[in-house]
Amino acid sequence: METTYYCNDCKTSYARKYLLSQHLKSMKHKKRTENTTTLLTCECGKSYSHKNSLEYHKKTCKFEPSICTHIPVPVTVTTTPPPSNATEILLETMQQKMEMYEKEREEMKAQIAMLLEKHAGNTTNTTNNQIDNSTNNNITININAFGNENTDYIDDKAILACIGRVYKSIPSLLEKIHFDPKHPENHNIKITNKKLPYASVMGNNKKWKTVDRKDAIDTMVNNSYNMLDDKFKENKDKIPASKQEHFRGFQSKFDAEDKELMKEIKFEVDMMVLNGI
C-alpha cells in the first residue's frame, strides 16, 4: 500500500516524505502557517504554537487548578402556628388582661368610696354654735341631697349682684349656695383628694355616695347658670344697660360652650369645692 504524506495547513499531499519536508521549508507553507497558526494555551497561562510543545510542557508544568469547595450552610427552618391560632391566643390574652384590669378598677373604686364615706361622716352633722356668746348647744343639721339645695334665702338682689360680676357670676352664686356658713344644710359636696376623679355627694337616701367628679362639677355649673339666666330675664329693668350687654356676651359664649370659658369656670368651681370655700 502506497504511503501518502499530507500537509494539514496547506491541504496538500505528497508521495514521498522528502517532498513533504521540502514543502514545509518553502515560503508558501511558512506564510500560510504564519496566518493560520493557532496558539495552544496551558491552564498555567503559557501559550504554544505546536501541539507537541504543549504536550511536552504539560508533563513538567506544576500548575494546579483551584478547586471550589462548597461547604453546606445549615439552614434553620422555624415553623409558626397558623395565623388563626395566633390570633385566638392574642385575643384570649387581651381578654384576660382586660378582665383583670376591670377587677382591679372596681376594687379600687370600692376602696375609694369607703374612704370618702368614712371621711364625710354620718348622714347628719353635729355642729356647735355659740349662742349669746355664752351657751353652747348641739344642733343637728339634715344635709340636703345634691341638686336639691335650699335657695330660698338667696333673694333677687343677691343674684343680681352675681350677674353684675359677669364672667365670675357662676362661681359667685355657687359659693352662696353650697358654702354659705349660715346654711350648712347645703354643704352637700366634697372633694377630698385632688388627684382622684371622684367626688362625694349627699344622695336622696341621706347617705354620702361617690360620683364622677367632672359630672358633679358640670351639674353645679349648669344649675347655677339656669338660675342666673332666669333672674336676668325677670329683672332686666333693674340692670344697667352696660351690664346687660356684658352679660349677654357671657351668655353667648356659655351657650356656644366656648372651650376657654368653660375650662376657666369649671376649674374655679373645682378648686372652690376642693378647698371647701
DSSP letter string, 78-132: -----HHHHHHHHHHHHHHHHHHHHHHHHHHHHHHHHHHHHHH-SSEEEEEEEET
| Domain extent at residue 214 | 124-275
Q: Are 167 and 179 in contact (CB under 8 A)?
A: no
Supply the pLDDT for residue 215.
Answer: 96
Count of domains forming the chain: 2
* Residue 253 forms part of a structural domain: yes
Angle at 21 between CA 16 and CA 27, to 5 degrees: 130
Q: Do 38 and 167 fall within a single domain? A: no
User: Could you say which DSSP state residue 237 is in?
Assistant: G
Supply the pLDDT for residue 146.
Answer: 96
Q: Do 160 and 267 fall within a single domain? A: yes
Neighbour-count burial of 163, counting CB atoms closer than 10 A to its CB (0-12 exposed, 13-18 middle, 19+ buried): buried
* Residue 28 forms part of a structural domain: yes
Supply the pLDDT for residue 87.
Answer: 77
Q: Which residues of the chain have pLDDT under 70?
A: 1-3, 33-39, 45, 47-50, 63-85, 110-111, 113-139, 277
* Residue 219 forms part of a structural domain: yes
* Residue 97 forms part of a structural domain: no
Q: What are the backbone dihedrals phi and psi of residue 197, each rounded to the nearest 5 degrees, phi first?
A: -85, 35
Supply the pLDDT for residue 88.
Answer: 77
* Residue 159 forms part of a structural domain: yes
Q: Do 137 and 34 fall within a single domain? A: no
* Residue 114 forms part of a structural domain: no
Residue 209 grid cell? 355616695
pTM (2 decimals)? Answer: 0.53
Q: Do 132 and 263 fall within a single domain? A: yes
Residue/partner pairs of 245-254 with CB below 8 Å, 24 or more apart = 246/166, 247/163, 247/166, 247/169, 250/166, 250/167, 250/169, 254/225
